[in-house]
Amino acid sequence: QTWLNGNSISIPASESIVDMSTRVGWNIVQIDHNVIINNNNELRNLSALMINGSKLTVTGSNATSTGMGLEISNYLKLDGVIDLEGESQLIQPKGSVLDPASTGTIERDQQGTADNYTYNYWSSPVGSVNAATNNNPYTLPQVMHDGSQDITWLTSGYDGSAGSPVSIADYWIWKFANQPGGNYSGWQHIRSTGMVNVGEGYTMKGPGSGTINDQQNYVFKGKPNNGTIALTIHSDNEYLIGNPYPSAIDAKQFILDNSPLSGDLGSTTGTLFFWEHYGAGTHSYSEYQGGYAVYNLSGGLPAARYIPAGSTNEVSVGENTPGPYIPVGQGFFVIGKNNGQIEFNNGQRIFKPESDESVFLKSTDNTIEEVDNRPKIRLGFDSVNGVQREILITQDTNATTGIDFGYDAQLYEDQIDDMYWLIADGKHVIQGIDMINADTVLPLGVHTQTDGINAISINSLENFDENLDIFLHDKVLNVFHDLGQSAYTVTLDAGAILDRFELTFKVKSTLSLEDETINQLDIRYDNSNSMIVIKNPNQVDINSVTFYNMLGQPVFNNSEIGLADSLKYKVNNLSTGAYIVAVSTPRGKETRTVLVK
């Protein structure tokens, strides 16, 4: 064999002198003095790295800035420090070994909410240090710090405090490890002294150093986790877990590695649930405002939001939608499908900086992600009590009309008012389906806590067939409302409604002259004069006008009309709420939803 490089030595990530399109990623490096990696390459690859009593700094200008990736493809012996500044990450792919005899540490910053009342779900990228084993259990004081200082862990009281270092009330540190779903008593109170296994998640509130929109920086310091990490889960149990590595992980790969496609039974349902705590300003559980954002193979959904009447809160549904990459330190829930092992492995690791400075739910920069060309419908529900819920339908050839692993996501928490897809009598917020066409019918369920006006609308369409119109079918009123034109507003009695609404589709057709004429009917309700007003500039022949309440009961009807360019009908003594005006013509029926105030 011929040594092509002669006496030249190429530094890591430099251009190869043999092929300048190739960057050098096969160096074996030993560090005996402090070294800083400060070039602009996004990812630096090494075959092996040995650090002996010194410090390697992977630069980022401050704790929250973008950084770089350091990938060790074969072997790491860490007897010093790797400081991952900013968004810098340590990646070890499949087959890469961390020598168990390593006694060194890494340091990695991550930010949570500064607010005293707001939970973050965390998971540590490091474990405790010893010279014999990796992926070691830990207590929070062993791994979580305020910069270079130890956090003051308060073992009494409920509020943390700002300062240097910050103080954290350890009353709010809990984990939920393989416990029956929906069982509040399953939360395990570990405080600052309880052990956390690598891969498990835990809850913690901020020190009160700012508001819910402010950040508090923490530094994880310990022995980096690496390789396969497994946690036992039982069927129908829930587990608060989290990204266990000092790098982002690919959520899709994690789901697939724990699916029936991986060769086992599939330990989870294939859906990840991310807590988002967005208000209340209290420690009272009954007053918490929050919900779970959702991600699976069909896509991501934001958490439902509660925005009470008169609120000045401008944050709306869709603020934090999970993407395909899970950041360092992020905790999340999974649900057990079968008895088995939840597996994290190096094949899931990837270098992905976070997209912005938003607090947990943390999001990563998905601008380089593979484009998702699948058709999607995001349907919105705005309730009488100010709940905003978004639900998702995704067309994917791997899905069916039944329940599919990783493509359908069950409703994880009930809001006081809510909307969901009904699949096999179960409530779901994400549904995958193999085909959406004119024959597709998707049942919807709704429940509300109080009587009142609610609205169903299209939040957004992605890659959707422009030749299909989307209708909400109200089976009680026998109304097909075109959601492409406007939201469907309806007054509902309190309770669950599981057999009234469904989403249907119709192929667009070219309007005839008669159709265009009918569409020019202006139908409204004049609240000041308590009158139905119909403007009919083309004098369409009208057979009847019927006014329905939202129970489907006619409260007014007139069938002696004929040709007229303007019609007005007095309708007195109506209760406040939404009504349907149905105008019947020889060409069909036109309906409008009107609001009586």
- pLDDT tens for 66-83 read 789 999 999 999 999 999
181 versus 290: the higher-pLDDT residue is 181
**Alpha-carbon gap, residue 162 to 380, rounded angstroms:** 39
**Residue 575: band (very low, low, confident or very high) from pLDDT cuts 50, 70, 90:** confident
At residue 261, does pLDDT exceed 80? Answer: no
pLDDT tens digit sequence for 383-420:
999 999 999 999 999 999 999 999 999 999 989 999 99
- 485, pLDDT greater than 60: yes
Task: Give the mean pLDDT of 33-53.
Answer: 87
Q: Which tops the pLDDT comparison, 422 or 538?
A: 422
Mean pLDDT for 422-427 is 95
CA atoms of 262 and 303, how far apart (whole Å) = 29
The band of 49, judged by pLDDT with boundaries at 50, 70 and 90, is very high
Q: What is the dotted CATH code of the domain comprising 513-596?
A: 2.60.40.3080
Burial label for 178, CB within 10 Å (0-12, 13-18, 19+), is middle
Return the pLDDT at 318: 43
Would you kindly state where each structural domain of the chain is located, as residue ranges?
1-103, 104-350, 376-507, 513-596
Structure confidence by residue, pLDDT tens digits, 523-551: 888 888 888 898 888 777 888 888 888 77
pLDDT at position 13: 56
Q: Of 38-52, 206-220, 298-312, where does the model show the most confidence?
A: 206-220
Band of residue 521 on the pLDDT scale cut at 50, 70, 90: confident
> Is the predicted pLDDT of residue 265 greater than 60, yes or no?
yes
| Average pLDDT over every residue of 111-137 | 95
Tokens of residue 45, six digits: 């690859």
**Quick one: CA dihedral 144, 191, 292, 318, positive or negative?**
negative
- Cα 297 vs. chain centroid, distance in angstroms? 12
Q: How far apart are CA 271 and CA 263, in angstroms?
A: 18
pLDDT of residue 367: 44
CA distance linking residue 559 with residue 584, whole number of Å: 9
Enclosing H/E stretch for 253: helix 251-257
The helix (H) or strand (E) run that includes residue 143 is: helix 140-143
- Which residues are CB-neighbours of 387 under 8 A, at least 6 positions away? 304, 305, 306, 307, 381, 415, 416, 417, 418
Predicted local distance difference test score (pLDDT) of residue 396: 98
List, for residues 448-459, the tens digit of each pLDDT value. 999 999 999 999
Burial state string for 89-115 with b = 16 or more CB within 10 A and e = fewer than 16? bbbbeeebbbeeebebbbbbbbbbbbb
Q: Are 346 and 94 spatial neighbours (Cβ–Cβ below 8 Å)?
A: yes
**So what's the pLDDT on residue 401?**
94
At 182 the pLDDT is 83
| pLDDT-derived band at 576, boundaries 50, 70, 90 | confident
> How confident is the model at residue 538, as a pLDDT?
76
The C-alpha atoms of residue 452 and residue 576 are separated, in whole angstroms, by: 9
Q: Which of 444, 394, 392 is nearest to 419 (CA)?
A: 444
Task: Give CA–CA dist 163/560, Å, rounded.
Answer: 79
pLDDT at 340 over 80: yes
Most confident of the ranges 477-481, 491-495, 563-567: 491-495
How does DSSP classify residue 256?
A: H
- Average pLDDT of the residues of the chain: 88
Residue type, position 395, single letter: Q
DSSP conformational letter for 542: B
Position 372 scores a pLDDT of 92
- Label residue 359 by pLDDT band (50, 70, 90): very low
Rg of the chain over Cα atoms, rounded to whole angstroms, equals 29
Choose among 244, 239, 242, 213: nearest CA to 228: 244
Query: Of 383, 228, 413, whose CA–CA distance to 303 is shortest?
Result: 413
Does the CA dihedral 167-170-176-181 come out positive or negative?
negative
Tell me: pLDDT of 516 over 90.
Answer: no
The model's confidence at residue 314, banded by pLDDT at 50, 70 and 90, is very low
Q: Has residue 559 got a pLDDT over 50?
A: yes
- Which region among 45-49, 164-168, 203-207, 304-308 has the lowest average model confidence (pLDDT)? 304-308
Mean pLDDT of 340-369: 72
- Of the candidates 396, 388, 397, 391, the one whose C-alpha atom is nearest the C-alpha of residue 377 is 391
HSE, side-chain direction, 13 A CA sphere, residue 432: 21
- Burial (CB count <10 Å: 0-12, 13-18, 19+), residue 513: exposed
> By the 8 A CB rule, do 191 and 171 touch?
yes
346 φ/ψ angles, rounded to the nearest 5 degrees: -65, -20
The token pair at 277 is: 């705590």
Report whether pLDDT(37) > 50. Answer: yes
Indicate the SS3 state at residue 34: coil
Label residue 357 by pLDDT band (50, 70, 90). Answer: very low
Token pair 């064999």 in the structure block, residue: 1
